[in-house]
Amino acid sequence: QSALTQPASVSGSPGQSITISCTGTSSDVGGYNYVSWYQQHPGKAPKLMIYDVSNRPSGVSNRFSGSKSGNTASLTISGLQAEDEADYYCSSYTSSSFVVFGGGTKLTVL
Amino acid sequence: EVQLVESGGGLVQPGGSLRLSCAASGFTFSSYWMHWVRQAPGKGLVWVSRINSDGSSTSYADSVKGRFTISRDNAKNTLYLQMNSLRAEDTAVYYCARVLVDSYGRIQYYYMDVWGKGTTVTVSS
């Protein structure tokens, strides 16, 4: 099972909005609305930010939003803050195994 | 406090075996599906395996199928990962994670909302 495709890095200035893409296939992202996003700070465990494409778990800021079109899902962070600097991973249910993650995107807040 | 604590990691030679444990507390462990996810040094997250709440159903990534076995002891609130025939590419931090139960009480099998801090496995001669 190949990892979902994410850009290696994105950057933005405080207050701006950024979008991270996550491209899969019809066997994962495109075939199911079981896409999620995780935030991971260095040396820490991942944190669930978005599930079911666009739902936020309790306690997650509404600055984080998700969407999907075809085989590509997206995470948008608005009003960028310094503490948003982290690695972000998408994941999806996949018919071939169970869950597949993306390769990760490093977000730099300039 | 809801908590997951992994243990059992260490240095092992190629071809060797290791059993990881994940002790759960602060929630009804027997009601939750659980996952193992790993992360090689400087690399991304990779899903490894999952088990349902009573241990009767499991799934594995192709890269570990036939070598790793996930299991659980609900009486001990503990999740396990038995790793055999270890390879250098299995070197990683291994996290156990609990599936999300949403605000409606629905089990969200593919999402993990509580993670442990991880245990490090190094496969090297």
- Chain segment A38-67, per-residue pLDDT in tens: 999 999 999 999 999 999 998 999 999 999
What is the C-alpha separation between B114 and A46, in angstroms, rounded?
9
Q: What is the mean pLDDT of residues B3-14?
A: 97
Instruction: With beta carbons under 8 A apart, name residues in chain B contacting A38.
Output: 45, 112
Contact B117 A45 (CB under 8 A): yes
User: Would the pLDDT of A97 be above 90?
Assistant: no
- Using a pLDDT cut of 90, give the percent of chain A over it: 93
pLDDT value at position A1?
64
pLDDT value at position B103?
84
What is the C-alpha separation between A85 and A18, in angstroms, rounded?
12
**Would an 8 Å CB–CB cutoff place A99 in contact with chain B?**
yes
Q: How many CB atoms lie within 10 A of CB B20?
A: 23
pLDDT, tens digit, for every residue of B52-110?
Answer: 999 999 999 999 999 999 999 999 999 999 999 999 999 999 999 999 988 888 989 99
Min Cα separation A81/chain B (Å): 23
Per-residue confidence at A3, pLDDT binned at 50, 70, 90? confident
User: Would the pLDDT of A32 be above 90?
Assistant: yes
Instruction: With beta carbons under 8 A apart, name residues in chain A contacting B62.
Output: 1, 96-97
Residues 4-33 of A with CB under 8 A from B: none
Mutate which of B107, B110, B113 to disrupt the A interface (most A C-beta within 10 Å)? B110
Burial class for B107, CB neighbours closer than 10 Å (0-12, 13-18, 19+): middle
**Would an 8 Å CB–CB cutoff place A101 in contact with chain B?**
yes
Contact A100 B47 (CB under 8 A): yes
What is the C-alpha separation between B125 and B114, in angstroms, rounded?
34
**Would an 8 Å CB–CB cutoff place B2 in contact with chain A?**
no
Contact A38 B35 (CB under 8 A): no
Nearest to B59 among A34, A51, A97 (CB): A97
Query: Parallel, antiparallel, or unpaired: how do β-strands B92-101 and A9-12 relate?
Result: unpaired
- Nearest Cα residue in chain B from A32: B110
Contact B115 A103 (CB under 8 A): no
What is the C-alpha separation between A81 and A109, in angstroms, rounded?
7
**Would an 8 Å CB–CB cutoff place B113 in contact with chain A?**
yes
Per-residue confidence at A2, pLDDT binned at 50, 70, 90? confident
Instruction: With beta carbons under 8 A apart, name residues in chain A contacting B44.
Output: 3, 87, 89, 101-104
pLDDT, tens digit, for every residue of B12-53?
Answer: 999 999 999 999 999 999 999 999 999 999 999 999 999 999
